[in-house]
Chains A and B, each alone.
Chain A
């Protein structure tokens, strides 16, 4: 199976691996992407609602590991060391500082 397509947003801060699961239609997901850009943190995102077929199945399996509720945005830091559900801006900043 070919790997599902992720969008990579470059940033100067690469101390943490940041993956976010988002919806292209969701205003809170958009806020999350903008916050990470403002923080200049490098991250990858997948807009789940734009996927279909095998990619969708793969993405759903992946997000379920971190967030069984599959709500968006789901922010996964360092392979699940921290998982933040929703646009909790203070928590996102805190976990990514340093």
Chain B
């Protein structure tokens, strides 16, 4: 099996598990997969084809596809930043595919690109945690009332990735 097909299969499986769909624009889909294959080959990991990677994995972990921003972007805009993963409503209306704002925090982008420019791959600075402090402090934990799966995100997932229960079977979950 070639590299491209391996990526397609894995993204397809991931989309199904999470209740998403893959890009409905066939040409764009093919180009995005080509981009992912190229990034995998040159960096050793499939970073987002529509974002600049630093080439330093510790700075790029948050944009390895499926990226950390996907769920929030699909919730808000119906598609992830590059458009590889979409909500059902975009799958049914592909003309709504289009540019969405970059959710990745500016300071993360700047730090990654500065590191890339200075090639500080050997420096011992701490790995950045891409989710901003604010976000992790306010994010809701959702519990699948069918199987008990927990996830932290703005809204419940379209389906439970474990038992496939629908979003309406999720409830906010509070600790203690």
Tell me if A23 and B106 are in contact (CB < 8 A). no
Give A14-37 interface residues, CB cut-off 8 Å to B: 23-31
Tell me if A27 and B83 are in contact (CB < 8 A). yes
Most buried by A among B38, B50, B53, B116: B50
Tell me if B32 and A87 are in contact (CB < 8 A). no
A85 partner, pick from B38, B83, B99, B113, beta carbons under 8 A? B99
B152 at the interface (CB under 8 A from A): no
Tell me if B106 and A25 are in contact (CB < 8 A). no
What is the interface residue range for chain B against chain A? 20 to 34
Given that A71-B102, A88-B99 are known contacts, is A27 also in contact with B49, CB under 8 Å in the complex? yes
Give B88-113 interface residues, CB cut-off 8 Å to A: 98-99, 102, 106, 109, 113
A57 at the interface (CB under 8 A from B): yes
For B99, list chain A residues within 8 Å (CB): 28, 85-88
For B52, list chain A residues within 8 Å (CB): 23, 48-49, 70, 72
A2 to B31, CA, bound (A): 32
A86 to B102, CA, bound (A): 10
Interface 1/0 per residue, B98-135 and A, CB below 8 Å: 11001000100100010011000000000000000000
A31 to B82, CA, bound (A): 12
Most buried by B among A23, A31, A60, A69: A23
Give the shortest distance, in Å, between B18 (CB) and chain A (any CB). 21
Interface residues of chain A, those whose CB is within 8 Å of chain B, are 23-31, 48-49, 56-57, 60, 68-72, 85-88
Given that A48-B52, A60-B117, A70-B113 are known contacts, is A26 also in contact with B82, CB under 8 Å in the complex? yes
In the complex, residue of chain A having the shortest beta-carbon distance to the beta carbon of B110: A70
Given that A49-B52, A87-B99, A88-B98 are known contacts, is A25 also in contact with B38, CB under 8 Å in the complex? yes
Tell me if A72 and B50 are in contact (CB < 8 A). yes
Most buried by A among B52, B109, B113, B116: B52
In the complex, residue of chain A having the shortest beta-carbon distance to the beta carbon of B116: A56
Tell me if A25 and B109 are in contact (CB < 8 A). no
B146 at the interface (CB under 8 A from A): no
Interface 1/0 per residue, B143-159 and A, CB below 8 Å: 00000000000000000
In the complex, residue of chain B having the shortest beta-carbon distance to the beta carbon of A30: B31
